[in-house]
């Protein structure tokens, strides 16, 4: 439609510019996010057992597999299998460390009013039939901030909510790294 409005001398230029733009778009690896897939077509099911825990806190080891399961089911074609022995691939993880550091102190009480949680973990995805390591990261680090009420009467422990948010963030990142070819 647009080309019919242009004089014949400009139509060729429009076609050439369009062809060049299309060539660049396809040559640079452009694709819709979430559609690329680095995993073998033979992998249809992934097991996500409980994470190992090298820390004294236990919540994240429960929430992480749940968040990864939700993310795989909502964003990919893979099914999550409960039994690692029946899955095509197994995603294993370990929480290596969890550390809380104060960021902001209340000037009146001297107590921390905001802290930052640092979590280090390992993640491995292995093809169960071949034993081939599909994805591996040994030192993944994430941070989450949360506030602490200075008034003890209004105190609400925000750390569990921060860990739950962090597990969802980690799950989004891990699934993206595993299935998208970036």
CATH number for the domain spanning 134: value is: 3.30.160.150
Q: Does 79 share its domain with 13? A: no
Say yes or no to pLDDT of 15 above 60.
Answer: no
Say yes or no to pLDDT of 20 above 70.
Answer: no
Q: Which domain holds residue 54?
A: 40-179
**pLDDT value at residue 25:** 46
Query: Of 3-12, 91-100, 113-122, which has the strongest mean pLDDT?
Result: 91-100
DSSP secondary structure code for residue 70 in this structure: H
Work out the average pLDDT over 86-113.
87
Q: How confident is the model at residue 4 (pLDDT cuts 50, 70, 90)?
A: low
User: What tokens does 81 get?
Assistant: 């299998």
Say yes or no to pLDDT of 106 above 90.
Answer: no
Which residue did the predictor score with more confidence, 10 or 119?
119
Cα–Cα distances in angstroms (integers) from residue 98 to residues 18, 113, 126, 142, 149, in the given order: 52, 19, 25, 10, 21
Q: Does 17 share its domain with 67? A: no
Cα–Cα distances in angstroms (integers) from residue 163 to residues 60, 61, 73, 154, in the given order: 6, 10, 21, 21
Pair 29, 17: CB distance under 8 Å: no
Q: Does 16 share its domain with 97? A: no
Q: Does 62 share its domain with 146? A: yes
Tell me, yes or no, whether 35 lies in a domain. Answer: no
Say yes or no to pLDDT of 31 above 90.
Answer: no
Q: Does 77 share its domain with 8? A: no
Tell me, yes or no, whether 162 lies in a domain. Answer: yes
Q: Does 46 share its domain with 14? A: no
Q: Does 72 share its domain with 124? A: yes
Question: Of 93-97, 115-119, 136-140, where does mean pLDDT reach its minimum?
Answer: 115-119
Q: Does 18 share its domain with 92? A: no
Task: Name the nearest CA neighbour of 64 among 158, 139, 170.
Answer: 170
Q: Does 82 share its domain with 3? A: no
Tell me, yes or no, whether 8 lies in a domain. Answer: yes
Q: How many domains does the chain have?
A: 2
Which residue did the predictor score with more confidence, 143 or 65?
65
């Amino acid at each position: 439609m647009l080309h019919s409005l242009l004089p014949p001398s400009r139509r060729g230029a429009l076609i050439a510019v369009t062809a060049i733009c299309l060539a660049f778009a396809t040559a640079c690896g452009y694709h819709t996010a979430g559609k690329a897939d680095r995993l073998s077509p033979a992998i249809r099911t992934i097991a996500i057992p409980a994470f190992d825990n090298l820390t004294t806190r236990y919540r994240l080891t429960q929430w992480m597999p749940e968040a990864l399961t939700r993310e795989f089911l909502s964003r990919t074609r893979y099914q999550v299998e409960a039994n690692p022995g029946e899955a095509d691939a197994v995603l294993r993880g370990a929480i290596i460390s969890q550390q809380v550091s104060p960021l902001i102190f209340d000037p009146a009480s001297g107590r921390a009013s905001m802290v930052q949680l640092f979590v280090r973990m390992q993640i491995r995805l292995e093809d169960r039939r071949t034993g081939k390591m599909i994805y591996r990261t040994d030192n993944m680090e994430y941070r989450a901030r949360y506030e602490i009420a200075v008034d003890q009467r209004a105190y609400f422990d925000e750390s569990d909510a921060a860990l739950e948010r962090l597990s969802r963030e980690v799950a989004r990142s891990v699934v993206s790294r595993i299935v998208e070819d970036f």
